[in-house]
Structure 1
């Protein structure tokens, strides 16, 4: 399986790096692994929905 860094995921999803890190630490991204001090996410991971946003608002 191919992995990408959190920075690459943040750019791909249009999210903040700290938010993607929060998702990894919380176990919300399946297949994410931590090797030494660097976290990796599968290339085909699906973007998570930000539950803080309400429907009908931008």
Structure 2
């Protein structure tokens, strides 16, 4: 499995490296693994939905309705 570091993944997702570190530490990034002091994220991992905004909550609600 190929991994990307915090800087590479943050650039790919359009967020700051610090925000990505927080997401990893809070368990929001699927497959993120910490090797010593370095977070590594699987290359094919999708960016998690940002739960801080109403638009993302509306999007999540529509996704859940679609699954039912």
Render the CA deviation track for 1:3-42: whole Å, top value 9, x for unaligned: 0001101000000111110110011111111111111000
CA distance in 1, matches of 2:46, 2:5: 14
Instruction: Report which structure shows greater RCO (CA 8 Å, sep ≥6).
Output: 1
Report the alpha carbon displacement of residue 54 of structure 1 after superposing the two structures with TM: 2.7
How much is the aligned-residue C-alpha RMSD, in angstroms? 0.9
- Report the structure number with the largest CA radius of gyration: 2
Q: TM-score, normalised by structure 2?
A: 0.74
Q: TM-score, normalised by structure 1?
A: 0.85
Partner-residue secondary structure (3-state), 1:19? helix
| Misfit runs of 4+, over 6 Å | none
Q: Unaligned stretches of 5+ in structure 1? A: none
CA distance in 1, matches of 2:47, 2:34: 19
Alignment: residue pair count? 55
Higher helix share: 2
